Structure 1
Amino acid sequence: MHETDRISKRYTEGVRQFINMARGHANRVDRIKCPCRKCKNRVYHHIDAVETHLILNRFDLDYTEWIFHGEEHPFFKHVQAEHNDDNSQAEDIDEVGEMLDDIYRGTFPDANIGESSTSLGPSNNDHKARPFDQLWEDAQRELYPGCKKFSKLSFSMKLLHIKTLCNWSDKSFDLVIDLIKQALLDGESLPKSYYKAKQFRRDLGFSYELIHVCKKVCTLFWKEHAYKDECPKCHISRWKKDNGKGKKIPWKVLRYFPIKPMLQRLFMSKDVAKDMRWHNDERLEDGDYLRHPADSIVWKEFDKKHAWFAADSHNVWFSKRWLQSIW
């Protein structure tokens, strides 16, 4: 056999070994980062497409530790940070891809609580959650042809973040989107309006409940008061405006983030989940220093009293001050 053919055969076998290892670490839609010389772990592809890329384009020479595909490395976080710095051009797309990967691996039934209103009419966010595959497509779809910095999903999420930080009105958000769409190249994929963009937020599980509040803040129109049209205490109408056509506007609205899905989201990320168990898995107990609330007498007494609860490091201890901070 010719030497070139022998090297080519050995390389093909190496690619197959890599694919077999990476297949066990692929997400449920069989997508992994592609480590070929063109993609350089910047883009997620179906695992079969990655195999083709590696045959045609060869491995990225700088990718010597396969840390994104199942190979363990003692300095994983450090290497990953360097990798992200080297590929900063695709940083936003990578962040969204990793977030989707964590969300899909940690999917739970009641994650999408839905932005439900307590009004008698339909919710102002009554669209149906889209399939997860659609989110993946939006995360890989370029903002415009040739754009490698942002995907449709990553750019939309950044715009939504800016809207929240700067307190943009819905109307101003629509105007900004319209202007950006005119400035981008033909074939852009930006959502047409705030209504369309905010669907990403719900599909990703960042949702909340809308609860109407009395004008004088003496009652929440919730639970037993959910269908009342006036406050049971001050008897002021629940509605600031009622045109008689079903369009009712409440005086005040509370955005409530339920605790259960909030805690579940903490365990959706493998890195955050590790930090959530640090007090049990990695904390040093020398008895001389108070480095963590778990070193306190109160925590230890609680563990003794509720040993069944303390036995599972995934359980979360609440402090009264923390509960007050989120309410």
Structure 2
Amino acid sequence: MDRSWMQLHSRRSPQYIDGVREFILFAHDHMKPGADKIWCPCYICNNHIQKAIEEVEIHLYAYGVVTSYTRWVYHGEAFELNDNNDSQNENDDYLDNVTEKSNSPNTEVREVIHDIRSGTTTFGYAGEASSSCNPDLPSSCGGVTNKFARLMRDAEQDLYPDCQRFSKLSFMVKLLHLKIFNRWSNKSLTMLLELLKEELPIGETVPCSYNEEYENEDECPCKAPRYKVRKGKGKKIPHKVLRYFPLKPRLQRLFISRKTAIDMKWHKDKRVEKENVLRHPADSEAWKDFDKKHESFAKDPRNVRLELASNGFNQFGNMSNSYSIWPVFLVPYNLPPWKCMKDPFFMMPLLIPGRMAPGFDIDVFLRPLIDELKELWEVGVKTYNASNGQNFQLRATLLWTINDFPAYGNLSGWSTKGKLACPSCNEDASHQYLHHWKKICYTGHRHFLPHNHVLRQSKAFNGEPERRSEPKLLSGEEVLGQLEHLDSTVFGKTDERGKKQKRSPQYLN
């Protein structure tokens, strides 16, 4: 169907009148059984208001049609682009010439929307959009389909009548980009939006406020659920609230962008390997050894290698010293070194707030993340790859953790205090108690030196030569073997009766 009539300025021309009649017939044929109203695509209603079909026709003659609404998704036309349909291809070519100008911000936004629509399995979009589906109302599937419909509507909607540079969506994306980089407050952005609404021509589509557009969203599966963890039974201790942000959608989004999907294979396709040069984690011995042991995982370079980092900090600075919040970050190391440590690729699956540090209870808080990492390692998740337009089974593994020494003790379970504080020395750690200062001193660092080193024979340090060899580096199997000899441990700070439990000497070294 020729839709060039939608670009005409004269609403009295025969071509425009015939086009409106064709649209009314199309909308009438695709109405749901029993429905008596359709969405009105005139400049005033802009697919926000449902009216009787006769009233919609009058509005189109009186106010004109939204020129960017060239795919009638609210009146029965499918979202999908049918590349095999010649008439559809001709229409798409026409739309490209009309709505996508060179250097237009709309071009990049349209590509992103197309990639998101192609990867429907990634975000769980279900069902087809229909003319009776209001993009602003919640749906039974959590509002995900309706949110995508809103994106489609905003991407096809002019910022103001006959605007050739921006759609509503591309303009808001630019504004939010400026807001983030310049640290505008929500209030300052709302004031700017109010000014723009007064300045732009009649028919503008700028939202009235930041809250109107982005705060009153429907419930989304990506919002972090709150897990309550009880720290003691029978005690007046408040529940500790854990916020967990699912990891799988974060990893899937890395492949929904074509550029990022290509960069996720940089470590395999573009990395230049040189002997004795470490420029990327893929050059490390740990990465190479992992590839040898797990060939099926290493065969697909899209599989993600992750690093975990966590520590506590006081977000209130000097105003409060009695509060500690623990974020847990994950970083994908598939990306180039100049990207993998940037903010856009940091993932925060866990946020543990509270007045006290989690301590050894962190193993309880990490449970949702550990379960999801196990699933990603053993099964994976179906993911759409925008670089080639195909789905694949994405897997992930955790290769490293980065943290300071006290946090290392909490995350690993090895106590970094006491007589056996050194995890490298393990059971061979040497110590000396200084009675005058009532401190423990660790004196065995010389056994890391070569056997013929002069300081090994010196008695100037503690009055004795050092004849021990360097401690053996334990494998994962040997560490698990040591754990089997420990007494049964109840995780957390309290036992099954709610009483504060003491760690066994073996657990605390």
Which residue identity is paired with 1:223?
Y
The Cα shift of 1:295 comes to 2.0
The Cα shift of 1:182 comes to 1.3
How many correspondences in the alignment?
218
Where do residues 8-87 of structure 1 align in structure 2 (5 Å cutoff)? 29-30=80-81, 47-50=89-92, 87=102
Change (3 A) 1:172 1:132: same
**SS of residue matched to 2:330:** helix
**SS of residue matched to 1:299:** helix
**In 2: Cα distance, 1:256 partner to 1:209 partner:** 9
**Aligned with residue 248 of structure 2, among 254, 260, 264:** 260
Where do residues 128-143 of structure 1 align in structure 2 (5 Å cutoff)? 128-129=143-144, 130=146, 132-143=148-159
The Cα shift of 1:104 comes to 1.9
Kept in 2, the 8 Å contact 1:208–1:255? The answer is no
TM-score by length of 2: 0.35
**Aligned with residue 165 of structure 2, among 146, 149, 152:** 149
Question: Partner residue of 1:192?
Answer: 208
The Cα shift of 1:161 comes to 3.2
Considering Cα pairs closer than 8 Å and 6+ residues apart, tell me whether 1 or 2 has the greater RCO.
Answer: 1
Which residue identity is paired with 2:223?
E
Q: Deviations over 1:63-93 (max 9, x none)?
A: xxxxxxxxxxxxxxxxxxxxx9x933x1x11
The Cα shift of 1:152 comes to 0.4
**In 2: Cα distance, 1:319 partner to 1:306 partner:** 18
Where do residues 303-322 of structure 1 align in structure 2 (5 Å cutoff)? 303-321=291-309
Alignment gaps of 5+ in structure 2 = 1-77, 126-137, 310-328, 332-345, 349-509
Larger radius of gyration: 2
Kept in 2, the 8 Å contact 1:96–1:139? The answer is yes
Q: Deviations over 1:257-305 (max 9, x none)?
A: 5332121111112221121112223444454533432121110111122
**In 2: Cα distance, 1:47 partner to 1:131 partner:** 27
Tell me the percent identity: 38
Kept in 2, the 8 Å contact 1:160–1:198? The answer is no
Question: Partner residue of 2:174?
Answer: 158
Alignment gaps of 5+ in structure 1 = 1-26, 33-44, 58-83, 113-124, 212-221, 239-252
Change (3 A) 1:149 1:290: same
Kept in 2, the 8 Å contact 1:160–1:197? The answer is no
Which residue identity is paired with 1:266?
L
Q: Deviations over 1:31-69 (max 9, x none)?
A: 89xxxxxxxxxxxx9634245679xx8xxxxxxxxxxxx
**Aligned with residue 111 of structure 2, among 82, 98, 101:** 98
Question: Partner residue of 1:120?
Answer: none
Structure that is richer in helix per residue: 1
**In 2: Cα distance, 1:168 partner to 1:260 partner:** 30
Q: Deviations over 1:216-249 (max 9, x none)?
A: xxxxxx3234xx9xxx9984699xxxxxxxxxxx
User: 1:174 aligned to 2:162?
Assistant: no
The Cα shift of 1:191 comes to 2.1
